[in-house]
Structure 1
Amino acid sequence: MTLRREAFLGHVTERGQYDTPEEAERAARVVLALLGAHLVGDVRARLAACLPETFALILLNPLQSAEPLSPERFVRATAAWIEGATEQTAAWDVSAVLSTVADAVDEDLLGQVLLQLPVGYDLLIGRPQPI
């Protein structure tokens, strides 16, 4: 089931404690553009199908990444793309967006997404996995 845009942004706004939906949308756009570069094939397509159309398109047309980013570098890259962000605020942004995405998908798809990401993204998502 696809989350509606308002519901998706509502969750991100609440989790990120943003003052406006525009701040939540900016965070979502950057995080999903970076995330999309790390996912391939059916997993990326299935994840996109769970998101509102605007955000699905961002995930499917990602920023290009030369290599998979570790969770720390993913946060740093997010900070670089969001004007005025620090690594601390970017970590908050990443967590708000990725936890909302995780809640929009079933456990099977979330597991497949995590398999395509470097170790440690489960912590960014807020769903620590057993080792």
Structure 2
Amino acid sequence: MQWRQLVHDIRLSGRYTTSAEAERVVRAVLTVLGGHVSGDERCALARLLPQEAAEVFTRQIPLTEPLSAPAFVDAVAGHLTHVSAAEARWATGTVLTLLARHAGDELTRRILAELPRGYALLFGLADLTPAAAA
């Protein structure tokens, strides 16, 4: 996949009016995601991304403890500025769903295993993790 193709796909999936808007969304989500994926999964995802996207993603130092899914969306909103919570959620879901499709089920499952509960929905997947017994 090439950078232009990634931006084009995000523009179509997210129904963004311009490529510049789609590019801004891709960069924001990859910046935050780069702090959350580590190890072999980080390397595997970076290899699948276009060079420019991989650089944005790998430039981030992985956090010692990932944010909750809602806090992740808030962090994306902070990178986008002047967007509502719903717009940040849409942007996050658009990019992560496309990345999940591109990465495939096995890599996506491995990435989700590193993250707190609640991320599956951001990747366009059902969260089938059983709730903890009370």
> TM-score, normalised to structure 1's length?
0.92
Distance 1:63 1:32 in 2: 12
Q: Is the 8 A contact 1:114 1:121 kept in 2?
A: yes
Among 102, 117, 120, the residue aligned to 1:119: 117
- Residue by residue over 1:23-48, the C-alpha shift from the partner in whole angstroms, topping out at 9 and shown as x without a partner, is 11111111111111011111101001
> Which of 70, 85, 104 lines up with 1:72 in the alignment?
70
| Superposed structure 1 runs of 4+ greater than 4 Å apart | 63-66
- Specify which structure has the bigger relative contact order, considering alpha-carbon pairs within 8 angstroms and separated by 6 or more residues: 1
Within 5 Å, give how 1:76-87 maps onto structure 2: 76-87=74-85
Aligned equivalents of 2:18, 2:63: Cα separation in 1 = 29
Q: In the alignment, is residue 27 of structure 1 matched against residue 59 of structure 2?
A: no
Match of 1:99 in 2: 97
* C-alpha distance in structure 1 between counterparts of 2:99 and 2:10, whole Å: 9
Q: How many residues align?
A: 129
Larger radius of gyration: 2
Structure 2-normalised TM-score?
0.90
Instruction: Tell me how far 1:83 sits from its aligned partner.
Output: 2.2
Aligned to 1:38: 36
Change (3 A) 1:66 1:108: closer
Q: Which runs of 5+ in 1 are unaligned?
A: none
Identical-pair percentage: 33
Secondary structure, aligned partner of 2:81: coil
Deviation at 1:63, TM superposition (A): 6.1
Measure the CA separation in 2 of the matches of 1:65 and 1:16.
28
